[in-house]
Structure 1
Amino acid sequence: MNLFRTKSIEQMRSMAENSGMKKSLGAVDLILLGIGCVIGTGIFVLTGVAAAKYAGPAVILSFIISGLACAFAGLAYAEFASIVPSSGSAYTYTYASLGEFLAFLVGWNLILEYTVTASAVASGWSGYMVGLLKSVGIELSPAFTLVPSDGGIINLPAIFITLFLSFLLVRGTQESTKINRILVFVKLIAVFIFLILAGPNVDTANWEPFMPFGFSGVTGGAAIVFFAYIGFDAVATSAEECKDPARDLPVGIIGSLVICTVLYVVVAAVLTGVVPYTELNNPEPVAFALRYIGYNIGSAVVGVGAIAGITTVLLVLLYGQARIFFAMSRDGMVPANICKIHSRYKTPYIVTIAGAVFVSLIAGFAPIGLIAEMANIGTLNAFLIAAIGVMVLRLTKPDLHRTFRCPVVWLIAPLAILSCGYLMYNLPFDTWVRFFVWCGIGCIVYFTYSYQHSTINIKQSSKNPAPQIDDINTSL
Structure 2
Amino acid sequence: MNIWKKMTRQASVQQYLKADVRFEKTLQARDLMALGIGAVIGTGIFILPGTVAATKSGPSVSLSFLLAALVCATAAMCYAEFASALPVAGSAYSYGTIIFGQFIGWVIGWALVLEYMLAVATVSVGFSAYFNSFLKGFGWHLPAAISGPLNLGQHTYVNLIAVLVVWLIGWMLSRGLQTSMRINDLMVIVKVLIIVLFVLVGLFYIRPHNWTPFTPFGSKGIVAGAATVFFAYLGFDAVSSSAPEVKNPQRNLPIGIIGTLIIATILYMAVSIVLTGMVPYTKLNVADPVAFALQLFHLNFVSGVISIGAMAGMFTMMVTMIYSSSRLVYAIGRDGLLPQFLGNLNAQHLPNHSLWIVTLIVSLLGGFINLDQLAELVNIGTLIAFSFVSLGIIPLRKRTDIPNDGFKVPFYPILPIISLILCLGLMTQLQSLTWIASLIWFAIGVVIYLGYGMNHSKIE
Q: Same fold (TM over 0.5)?
A: yes
| Inter-CA distance 154–218: structure 2 relative to 1 (3 Å threshold) | farther
Deviation at 1:329, TM superposition (A): 0.8
State whether structure 2 residue 32 is matched by structure 1 residue 30.
yes
1: distance between equivalents of 2:293 and 2:378? 28
Deviation at 1:64, TM superposition (A): 2.5
**Structure 1 unpaired stretches of 5+:** 460-476
1: distance between equivalents of 2:324 and 2:48? 21
Deviation at 1:445, TM superposition (A): 1.6
Deviation at 1:330, TM superposition (A): 0.5
Alignment of 1:19-418 (within 5 A): 20-52=22-54, 55-148=57-150, 151=154, 152-207=156-211, 219=223, 221-277=225-281, 279-343=283-347, 345-397=348-400, 400-418=403-421
Deviation at 1:182, TM superposition (A): 0.7
2: distance between equivalents of 1:217 and 1:435? 29
Are the counterparts in 2 of residues 73 and 387 from structure 1 also a CA contact under 8 Å?
yes
**Structure 2 unpaired stretches of 5+:** none
Give, as a single letter, the amino acid of the residue that structure 2 aligns with 1:21. F
Are the counterparts in 2 of residues 120 and 368 from structure 1 also a CA contact under 8 Å?
yes
Are the counterparts in 2 of residues 86 and 239 from structure 1 also a CA contact under 8 Å?
yes
| Inter-CA distance 274–147: structure 2 relative to 1 (3 Å threshold) | farther
2: distance between equivalents of 1:286 and 1:436? 37
Are the counterparts in 1 of residues 334 and 344 from structure 2 also a CA contact under 8 Å?
no
SS in 2 for 1:370: coil
| Inter-CA distance 82–300: structure 2 relative to 1 (3 Å threshold) | same
1: distance between equivalents of 2:449 and 2:112? 15
Are the counterparts in 1 of residues 85 and 402 from structure 2 also a CA contact under 8 Å?
no
Give, as a single letter, the amino acid of the residue that structure 1 aligns with 2:334. R
Are the counterparts in 2 of residues 226 and 376 from structure 1 also a CA contact under 8 Å?
no
Deviation at 1:257, TM superposition (A): 1.1
1:17-62 deviations in Å (ceiling 9; x for gaps): 2xx3221101111111111111113213444444455555454344
Tell me the residue number matched to 2:9.
5
Deviation at 1:213, TM superposition (A): 6.7
2: distance between equivalents of 1:420 and 1:329? 28
Are the counterparts in 1 of residues 335 and 343 from structure 2 also a CA contact under 8 Å?
no
Are the counterparts in 2 of residues 56 and 212 from structure 1 also a CA contact under 8 Å?
yes
SS in 1 for 2:183: helix
Give, as a single letter, the amino acid of the residue that structure 1 aligns with 2:394. M
1:114-143 deviations in Å (ceiling 9; x for gaps): 011101111111111111111122222233
| Inter-CA distance 433–278: structure 2 relative to 1 (3 Å threshold) | farther
SS in 1 for 2:204: helix
Are the counterparts in 2 of residues 48 and 285 from structure 1 also a CA contact under 8 Å?
yes
SS in 1 for 2:97: helix
| Inter-CA distance 60–370: structure 2 relative to 1 (3 Å threshold) | farther
* Number of corresponding residues: 454
2: distance between equivalents of 1:331 and 1:210? 53
Are the counterparts in 2 of residues 16 and 85 from structure 1 also a CA contact under 8 Å?
no
| Inter-CA distance 111–215: structure 2 relative to 1 (3 Å threshold) | farther
| Inter-CA distance 273–422: structure 2 relative to 1 (3 Å threshold) | farther
Tell me the residue number matched to 1:474.
none
Deviation at 1:166, TM superposition (A): 0.5
Structure 1 window deviating more from structure 2 (133-142 vs 372-381): it is 133-142
| Inter-CA distance 454–220: structure 2 relative to 1 (3 Å threshold) | farther
Deviation at 1:205, TM superposition (A): 4.9
| Inter-CA distance 48–25: structure 2 relative to 1 (3 Å threshold) | same
Give, as a single letter, the amino acid of the residue that structure 1 aligns with 2:254. P
Deviation at 1:14, TM superposition (A): 2.0
Tell me the residue number matched to 1:441.
444
1:183-217 deviations in Å (ceiling 9; x for gaps): 01111110011101112323455456666677666
SS in 2 for 1:256: helix
Instruction: Tell me the percent identity.
Output: 40
SS in 2 for 1:414: helix
1:69-91 deviations in Å (ceiling 9; x for gaps): 22111111111111110111111
Tell me the residue number matched to 1:423.
426
Are the counterparts in 2 of residues 219 and 423 from structure 1 also a CA contact under 8 Å?
no
SS in 1 for 2:373: helix
Cα RMSD between the aligned structures?
2.3
